[in-house]
């Protein structure tokens, strides 16, 4: 079954139901289907054939969705690329995947067989005859399950972007398994402020097609109107990144009508406990599903919302069809409670990296039964009940004062302090370099450090806490660690504490208070 069948079935079953709401207004499944027909004909008129790659480096809008479903339907491979990537980065992707068609700036797509500028492609598709597909070629290609549906490029933490090969079989397995845990419904309205080039955003479109529900695309530049969109469209499900959680919590502090929001979800960087507490209080009747995954296997675990209050640091149990184990440095499986690398195998593990021989891949390993096992590079542990705890990436691990620690441990501890909305601990230059912590908070840095002394041992306690008005974010809404590190490097060092004035006697002597620089950081 090709992934495009998800949409085609929803189109057939619910033609008059609203499939999409964006800045241009609503589209029913029938109307989005007609746009998909035009896009499929347009792709064929541009010479795109089964198995060939179509790169799209435009905004996540109705044209994106029409091209997504059209490419999948004709058996092509859809390659979504964030529109804010540089021409250099897009050019690498176009060249690496051997694109037949690149919808992007001409300079970035020069290595493709054909290149069409984004706005021109949208106009041509909109103006294409509705019957183009029926005239030129069959509407459908029955792609085998192991044919590639998507190439999603991810850079991880180092190096050039690598294309994760996502076959139809694994994509469908991921959609069904995630929905088995989250329970999207036909009457749901899903607010997506995430880039559709980001797999977390892209899968919202797939989940909505699976259930025949409505997808609302929110403009990243219109954050002040997010709450109005939630209220106006009757939004019931909101996928979160930390910045969005904070925005909604702040906006909801103002009096307003009740909403229909029933579920918040999150994967990747997690909102702090304090922000999630505010958010759940601000939206009565809502629940929170914390998830863990990566592009290389889409999703690994989902936490039952009913368990969040008692297990706020857990990221849930393995989704149906997948299996998780924790391995030590010697490759042996570790028992519950011990920390090691998270390894996953099962139905959603993708087919490796595009153009990279398996023996040269650093994450995928062939199992005895011929299937692939993903070594995530993430540190975690399982408890006795099978709940997974994500503790940080291998490259998030540092040695300090002779102790191996995860920087994410420090960040999570800080975010548990009420009033701390986000925390980022950049990697120190070496073992002897000071450990810095950037925080977005209304609290005094000294208050935060005092709170951390009861949560962290000396090896994990930051040497310096620097408040930021806002934590810089990547295009996908995750903390931008290199940008945070640059801000901290540019911040002036804290001034030394002034010497205390001579005291008349021991009985009246006092300790000098900590000093604060112009950025408010405390020297400790």
Mean pLDDT along residues 252-277: 89
For residue 475, the tally of other CB atoms under 10 A from its CB is: 14
CB contact set of 123 (below 8 Å; sequence gap of 6+): none
In degrees, rounded to 5, the angle at the alpha carbon of residue 204 between the alpha carbons of residues 202 and 208 is 130
Contact, 447 vs 462, CB < 8 A?
no
Residue 474 has pLDDT above 50, yes or no: yes
pLDDT at 391: 87
Domain with residues 401-493+519-523, CATH architecture: 2-Layer Sandwich (3.30)
Contact, 363 vs 296, CB < 8 A?
yes
**SS3 of 152, please?**
strand
pLDDT at 225: 85
The CATH number of the domain covering residues in 4-311: 3.40.50.12780
Residue 459 has pLDDT above 90, yes or no: no
For residue 487, the tally of other CB atoms under 10 A from its CB is: 18
User: What is the per-residue burial (b if ≥16 Cβ within 10 Å, else e) of 12-50?
Assistant: eebeebbbbbbeeeebbbebbbebbbbbbbbbbebebee
CB contact set of 175 (below 8 Å; sequence gap of 6+): 3, 6, 203, 206, 207, 210
Work out the pLDDT band at 253, boundaries 50, 70, 90: confident
Contact, 45 vs 133, CB < 8 A?
no
Q: Which of 184-188, 242-246, 302-306, 478-482 has the lowest mean pLDDT?
A: 478-482
Closest CA to 64 of 3, 131, 121, 135: 121
Q: Give alpha helix (H) positions in 370-510.
A: 407-415, 445-452, 481-490
When computed from its CA atoms, the radius of gyration of the chain, rounded to whole angstroms, is 25
pTM comes to: 0.81
Q: Which two tokens stand for residue 175?
A: 């959609």
DSSP-derived letter for residue 307 is G
Instruction: List the chain domain ranges.
Output: 4-311, 401-493+519-523
Q: Which of 234-248, 257-271, 391-405 has the lowest mean pLDDT?
A: 391-405
In degrees, rounded to 5, the angle at the alpha carbon of residue 31 between the alpha carbons of residues 27 and 37 is 135
Mean pLDDT along residues 174-185: 98
Measuring CA to CA, how many Å separate 221 from each of 58, 224, 468, 479?
A: 16, 8, 21, 18
Measuring CA to CA, how many Å separate 420 from each of 275, 448, 476, 482?
A: 8, 8, 22, 21
């Amino acid at each position: 079954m090709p992934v495009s069948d998800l949409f085609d079935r929803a189109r057939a079953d619910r033609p008059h139901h609203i499939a999409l709401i964006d800045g241009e207004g609503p589209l029913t499944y029938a109307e989005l289907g007609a746009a998909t027909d035009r896009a499929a004909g347009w792709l064929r008129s541009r010479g795109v054939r089964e198995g060939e790659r179509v790169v799209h480096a435009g905004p996540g809008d109705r044209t994106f969705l029409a091209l997504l479903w059209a490419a999948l339907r004709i058996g092509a491979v859809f390659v979504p690329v964030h529109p804010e990537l540089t021409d250099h980065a897009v050019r690498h992707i176009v060249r690496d995947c051997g694109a037949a068609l690149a919808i992007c700036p001409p300079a970035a797509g020069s290595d493709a067989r054909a290149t069409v500028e984004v706005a021109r492609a949208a106009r041509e598709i909109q103006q294409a005859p509705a019957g183009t597909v029926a005239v030129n070629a069959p509407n459908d290609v029955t792609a085998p399950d192991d044919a590639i549906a998507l190439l999603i490029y991810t850079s991880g933490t180092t190096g050039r972007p690598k294309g994760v090969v996502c076959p139809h079989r694994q994509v469908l397995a991921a959609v069904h398994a995630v929905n088995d845990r989250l329970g999207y419904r036909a009457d749901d309205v899903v607010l997506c402020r995430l880039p559709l080039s980001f797999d977390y955003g892209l899968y919202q479109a797939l989940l909505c097609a699976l259930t025949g529900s409505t997808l609302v695309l929110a403009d990243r530049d219109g954050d002040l109107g997010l709450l109005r969109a939630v209220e106006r469209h009757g939004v019931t499900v909101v996928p979160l990144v930390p910045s969005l959680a904070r925005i909604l919590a702040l906006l909801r502090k103002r009096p307003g009508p009740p909403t229909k929001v029933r579920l918040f979800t999150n994967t990747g960087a997690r909102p702090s406990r304090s922000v999630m507490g505010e958010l759940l209080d601000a939206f009565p009747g809502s629940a929170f599903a914390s998830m863990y995954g990566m592009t290389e296997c889409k999703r690994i675990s989902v936490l039952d919302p009913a368990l969040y209050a008692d297990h706020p640091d857990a990221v849930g149990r393995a989704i149906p069809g997948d299996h998780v184990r924790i391995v030590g440095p010697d490759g042996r499986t570790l028992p519950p409670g011990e920390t090691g690398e998270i390894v996953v195998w099962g139905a959603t593990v993708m087919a490796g990296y595009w153009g990279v021989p398996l023996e040269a891949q650093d994450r995928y390993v062939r199992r005895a039964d011929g299937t692939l096992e993903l070594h995530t590079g993430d540190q975690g542990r399982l408890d006795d009940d099978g709940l997974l705890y994500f503790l940080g990436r291998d490259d998030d691990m540092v040695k300090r004062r002779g102790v191996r620690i995860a920087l994410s441990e420090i960040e999570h501890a800080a975010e548990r302090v009420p009033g701390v909305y986000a925390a980022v601990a950049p990697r120190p230059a070496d073992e002897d370099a000071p450990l810095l912590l950037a925080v977005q908070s209304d609290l005094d840095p000294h208050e935060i450090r005092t709170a951390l002394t009861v949560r962290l041992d000396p090896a994990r306690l930051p040497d310096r806490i620097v408040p930021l008005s806002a934590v810089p974010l990547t295009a996908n809404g995750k903390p931008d660690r290199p940008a945070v590190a640059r801000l901290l490097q540019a911040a002036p060092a804290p001034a030394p504490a002034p010497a205390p004035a001579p005291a008349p006697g021991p009985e009246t002597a006092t300790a000098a208070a900590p000093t604060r620089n112009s950025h408010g950081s405390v020297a400790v």
